[in-house]
Amino acid sequence: MSVSVQEQDFDQGLEYQSLVKDNLSDGAVVVFVGLVRDFNQGSEVTGLHIEHYPQMTEKCLTDIVQQAKQKWPLGRVRVVHRYGTLTLGEQIVYVGVTSAHRKAAFAGAEFIMDYLKTQAPFWKKETTKTGQHWVAAKQSDKKAADKW
Amino acid sequence: MAGEQKGRFAMIRVLFFAQLREVLQTERLELPLSARTVADLRAQLQQKGPLWQEYLSSSRSLVAVNQTMQKDQASLCEGDEVAFFPPVTGG
């Protein structure tokens, strides 16, 4: 399954292996991992809760991957996005892309992340020393998606 | 499709997520379908009060119909699931 939406953590090593195992045609592998940061939008974050729209997330991520495959000659694509309660430094999202050559792999991975950040129905609620608050969407994310 | 029965309404389901759900204190509604489009449904729900008016405006909320993001012109049918939510912040 090239897209997974799950509570549990993912293993980068295992994900990488499934991208390259028996994949003799692709010479390029690009991987992106998003982590929970300790300083976001001015607050000191101690933890994070990610809400999602269960029936829509997998459908949306699968559609984004399909769009990327139509735009570039990509080989294997793997996207994992977590939900639920996460702590500082934990992994949130994994995007792995293979291609014969690096240009398509880099572009495909960036496209998937830019679209995921503006279209996939996840919402982050941060816990800080002063309380909990919902993270606001960023204009820079919208601009990044629009450029494709 | 069955013929019309007395007292039967075409229904839609409306879901609210994240901050929208918290502010409106509503997770879901089952409504008789009277709105033809997403825009009509927004206007209909905005009648419920000042917080609905504010948070369901096009500038503050996105919409999905049957788990696909849609614009305000999108039409609605019986049995549709409509979700309102703030701009997303995944990744």
How far from each other are the two terminal CA atoms of chain A, in whole angstroms?
A: 26
Is B67 in Cβ contact with A56 (below 8 Å)? yes
Q: Which parts of chain B sit beneath pLDDT 70? A: 1-7
Which among A55, A113, A122 has the least Cβ separation from residue B88? A122
pTM: 0.92
> Touching check for B3 and chain A: CB below 8 Å?
no
3-state secondary structure of A13: helix
List pLDDT tens digits, range A83-129: 999 999 999 999 999 999 999 999 999 999 999 999 999 999 999 88
Q: Confirm if A95 and A112 have CB atoms less than 8 A apart.
A: yes
Q: How many angstroms separate the CA of residue A10 from the nearest CA in chain B?
A: 14
Per CB-CB distance under 8 Å, the chain A contacts of B87 are 118, 136-137
Q: How confident is the model at residue A46 (pLDDT cuts 50, 70, 90)?
A: confident
As a whole number of angstroms, the distance between CA A78 and CA A88 comes to: 24
For residue A83 the two structure tokens come to 């939900």
